[in-house]
Structure 1
């Protein structure tokens, strides 16, 4: 009997699967090719920026777009290499078979080319997941990695579970095993995308990673909760919630692209968020051309004193919808944290 990863299907999971399926059914089946390609390009950049930001890369969407277009970017060489590699691996997504280990190893080789010596090879040393200078997970010994990965891929190839659930389970189990010396987070998220791509083409360019980047604490907590329970259900719930939100954003963005209506009509762009975007744009057009702001700056620009209200009604909705981004995404609560408009935020017309 083949190994099967432990997970429990609860009401919350089943409800989210049903809701996601309904959202997929509402997506426009046909779309102007030029508009579709533009939407895919924008979301691909958001996906890569989000996934890299989770790992500490501070390149912006604009910088990654410049790299995609072959332009020179002034930034740390390693961060530029990480972005270039990620663009290459996502470009090759159609060439990878989600159920084959050989494809996983080839994708890792492309993703980590020039970054580590063991690109495309499983690790031969012990590793741990460190967050805020604390070890939050010690991965299985290196000599167990080939067997564990072999079992995981056998299950993946033979499982009859719903692709949404199967992709989340694989993602969690992959992070638990942590098979590579580096690049595990990026690879886990990439492979979930690849699995989901077989279910619906929209997942090829759904920017789930940009949402995870703004929910890093919850992301790592879901992994920790699943490890503690020896059941990936907490992680499944978290990832399905990210997919739900990403689909909601895509639905409204698609409507805007198709109809030619500016994205500000989307329900998520509340009057409060519009005001936040407006003051950031105005500040960026001054002689000083300030483009990033700390929390105090933004509250002063808006004339707000209530920190809780600002966070709930202005800051968090803008972050969740990918309209602004953190300058230090790997440390959301850093006292040096600042916020800047994303390419999507800059495109919003606020009058």
Structure 2
């Protein structure tokens, strides 16, 4: 396995990363506008609705950042851990959390609610919490300590045909570089969103730990932008957006970390990609808010109608999806499957829902192929 690459930490100016602010400003402006819109809409929601959005976002955040590294978490376990931390109405009888997901929820809450300057001890605590309940702990991974060797390689491919994607900073330079890194995070006047992207790239370039460097980098990025959001809790999940574009995530990092593709330490391309994912995450939040507001509006519209439990169950299920996304919309057959009732009862229930203005018949469908969807207005 030969290594012909030259890494950016060999550059004489490292770690003085460069970027073209003029190319990035439109993306930063869009983020600011989206955040403003999110904050305005969140303020219109009641506490329960806000908690619903937070639980969904934070569950996705933890599941996604682990999935990026190939670790599959139980969504139910993560959700239980998040709900406990948010003090939402929670039935401990149905608690599916584990020590591992509780620890991951602790890290997330620390990045959100602890605005204290970043310190080395805090980094190590995050690392311990991240990996102490995983199989990595049984593979002699040092927890809360930096590696003491140079040959930290990021590779892929079968044995004997491995491809080296990156080699981390020599361990003798880690301590000094981490000091500069923490100084940058705490005191740099860079735009917070750009700083979040630069810090992400810088940390994975150092690659100081045996394992978990990517996840810690995303935690650090979250910590930076959470402090600038302007609300007690954040309402976005960058890791979820990154996970949806995982291939480009690794490609952008790899191109930014070697001198062949990046001879001048210019990380504009990486930052631009990262800011786009940030905007994607905010757009997803806006979609979630719209969904919650639509549900509230719908139930308010039908509050005067007496519905049976079957009808409520079906309407609730439909409301979990945006209009038109219920895999072909609602049919009598699906109603029967959801409610476990007879065909005759299903038809009667659905006719009532049409009469009450809860459903409408989709144009162009009739007979056995008739389909329905929610009537929001």
Same fold (TM over 0.5): yes
Who is 2:269 aligned against? 234
Who is 1:246 aligned against? 281
Kindly tell me: are residues 215 and 8 of structure 1, through their superposed partners in 2, closer, same or farther at Cα, counting changes over 3 Å? Answer: same
Compute the RMSD of aligned alpha carbons: 3.4
Instruction: Give the Cα separation in 1 of the matches to 2:73 and 2:191.
Output: 35
Gap runs ≥5 in structure 2 = 1-12, 85-91, 299-316, 339-371
2:253 maps to 1:223:
yes
What TM-score, normalized to structure 2?
0.64
- 1:211 aligned residue (241, 249, 253): 241
- 2:129 aligned residue (105, 110, 114): 110
| Deviation, structure 1 residue 227 | 1.6
Per-residue CA deviation, residues 161-194 of structure 1 (Å, 9 max, x unaligned), is 1000011100100011111111111110011010
Who is 1:37 aligned against? 51
Who is 2:358 aligned against? none
2:183 maps to 1:154:
yes
Instruction: Give the Cα separation in 1 of the matches to 2:156 and 2:326.
Output: 34
SS at match of 1:136: strand
Which aligned segments of 4 or more residues in structure 1 are displaced greater than 6 angstroms?
Answer: 262-266, 276-279
- 1:128 aligned residue (140, 147, 153): 153
C-alpha contact 1:96 1:107 (8 A) present in aligned 2: no
| Deviation, structure 1 residue 214 | 1.7
2:32 maps to 1:21:
yes
| Deviation, structure 1 residue 48 | 0.3
Instruction: Give the Cα separation in 2 of the matches to 1:21 and 1:256.
Output: 22
Kindly tell me: are residues 99 and 278 of structure 1, through their superposed partners in 2, closer, same or farther at Cα, counting changes over 3 Å? Answer: farther
- 2:75 aligned residue (47, 61, 73): 61
Instruction: Give the Cα separation in 1 of the matches to 2:272 and 2:50.
Output: 30
C-alpha contact 1:49 1:61 (8 A) present in aligned 2: yes
| Deviation, structure 1 residue 12 | 3.5
Instruction: Give the Cα separation in 1 of the matches to 2:329 and 2:118.
Output: 43
- 1:194 aligned residue (208, 223, 244): 223
| Deviation, structure 1 residue 63 | 4.4
C-alpha contact 2:146 2:209 (8 A) present in aligned 1: yes
| Deviation, structure 1 residue 66 | 4.5
2:65 maps to 1:51:
yes
What TM-score, normalized to structure 1?
0.69
Instruction: Give the Cα separation in 2 of the matches to 1:48 and 1:238.
Output: 21
Instruction: Give the Cα separation in 1 of the matches to 2:99 and 2:154.
Output: 23
Who is 1:169 aligned against? 198
| Deviation, structure 1 residue 196 | 0.5
C-alpha contact 1:32 1:258 (8 A) present in aligned 2: no
SS at match of 2:107: helix
Report the count of equivalent residues: 278
| Deviation, structure 1 residue 14 | 1.4
Kindly tell me: are residues 218 and 274 of structure 1, through their superposed partners in 2, closer, same or farther at Cα, counting changes over 3 Å? Answer: farther
Who is 2:354 aligned against? none
Who is 1:332 aligned against? none
Instruction: Give the Cα separation in 2 of the matches to 1:107 and 1:252.
Output: 31
Per-residue CA deviation, residues 206-237 of structure 1 (Å, 9 max, x unaligned), is 12111211211100111012123122222211
Who is 2:353 aligned against? none
Kindly tell me: are residues 155 and 13 of structure 1, through their superposed partners in 2, closer, same or farther at Cα, counting changes over 3 Å? Answer: same
Q: Which moved more, 1:40-49 or 1:116-125?
A: 116-125
